[in-house]
Structure formats: structure tokens, C-alpha cells
Amino acid sequence: MAKHSKPFLACVLALIVITLLSGCNKKSEGDQAFDFMEKAAAEEQTFNEQQQPLVDEEKKEQDLYNKIMNVDVKDDKQVSKYSDQALASIEKRQKMMEKEKKSIDSAYKLFQKAVPHINKVKEEKAQKPGKQTIENMEKRYEAFGDLYKVYTASITDDQKLFKLMTNKKLTTEDLQKQLKVVNDHYESIEKNKETFNKYTESFNKEKQSFYSALGIKSKNK
């Protein structure tokens, strides 16, 4: 029996070494949270890329509206030309907004994978900013949802406005009514943007505090 003791002992020792090594290689809760949070931040790159193009298209539409208002009422071809250009611009914005939503949704799903790890971090200094990061992400995501609803509704009414302006029987009263609807939407958009930006700023601040408490540096700020 003694002859078989050495191989058996070697197997036991090998299993102990493998177990210890696997334990050493396992990432901490903080590191795992960081990985998902950074992936979420990278996923929002598409969202960030839409910001300036959206503003540019909005300015273009405003310029086209001004041109239509300055064109001779009888010049139907020119009015139709400007209106078509505005409608094409609105369609571009619609596609950009869908890209934004897809980007934000994907980032949010990735962040949710970080939540269990954030809640399990052992470092006391990281626990409070970790919880606040989660809270701000939830509020931020909800704020974007509200912004998206208002923005998509405004797109529909912007389209109505430019189509209406090609109507030869358009009255000043009808035009004013539609303009009011459009302007009301843009006021709501600005308010929702402020809310979204406020929670974005708070989220980024708490996220960096969370990273700092864990001694981690982020590439995405």
C-alpha cells in the first residue's frame, strides 16, 4: 500500500495548487464592476457622436424655415424645394435619435451587469459612491426615456409644419397654431435635456469617486 501513497499525495497537492491559483486569478468585485462599467461607457460612444450632427441638422431646418418665410408666396417651387430639404433633414435627425437610443439602451444593459459587483465591494469607502452611481444611472436612464419620447413627438410635429407650409390654402392662424405646438415641444426638450445632463454629471462624478476609492483609473471619463 505504501508504494501508492506518493502518486496519491501528488494528485492531492496538485488539486490544492490549482485551487489556490484559481483563487488568486479571480478578479475582485471592484475589478469586475469596473470592467462592465467601462464597457458601458464605451458603448455610449455612438450616442456622443450624434450630438453635434443633431444640432447641425436642427440649425439647417431653422434656416430653411426662415427661407420659406422670406420667399414669395406665389413661388410654389421654391417653397416645395426648401420644405423637401427640411423634411430630409428631419428624417436624418430621426435616424440619429434611434442610434442614440440604441446606444443608451445597450450601455444601460451592460451597466446592469456591474450592479451586483458594485453592491458586493468590500472597501467601505467605495460602498457609498457605488450606491449613488447606481441611483444616478437609474435616474439618468429614466430621464433619457422622457427626452426620447418628447423628441420623437417633436419630430412628427416638425414634419407637419413643413408639409403644412406647402399648402397653398395655408392661413396665418393655422401656421401659428402649428408653430406653437412645435415651440412647446422644444421647450419640453430643453427641460428634459437639463434633467438628463444633471444626472449624467452626477453619475460621472460618483463613478469617479467609486473608482478612486478602489484605486482604479479610468480611460473613459
> Is 97:152 a contact under the CB 8 Å cutoff?
yes
> Is 203:140 a contact under the CB 8 Å cutoff?
yes
Q: What is the DSSP string of 129-177?
A: HHHHHHHHHHHHHHHHHHHHHHHHHHHHHHHHHHHHTT-TT--HHHHHH
What is the per-residue burial (b if ≥16 Cβ within 10 Å, else e) of 55-67?
A: eebbebbeebbeb
pTM: 0.85
d(Cα 204, Cα 221) in Å, to the nearest integer? 7
Query: Cα–Cα–Cα angle for 29, 31, 32, nearest 5°?
Result: 65
| Cβ-based neighbour number of residue 75 at 10 Å | 11
d(Cα 117, Cα 35) in Å, to the nearest integer? 10
Give the model's pLDDT for residue 219: 60
> Is 60:89 a contact under the CB 8 Å cutoff?
yes
For each of the domains in the chain, give its residue range(s) and CATH number, in order of start. Answer: 37-214 (1.20.120.570)
Lowest mean pLDDT among 34-43, 44-53, 72-81, 105-114: 72-81
> What is the SS3 assignment for 210?
helix
Digit-coded pLDDT (tens) for 7-58 = 544 444 444 444 444 444 578 999 999 999 999 999 999 999 999 999 999 9
Give the model's pLDDT for residue 25: 56
| pLDDT class of 211 with cuts at 50, 70, 90 | very high
Give the model's pLDDT for residue 76: 87
Q: Write phi, then psi, for 76 (nearest 5 degrees).
A: -60, -40
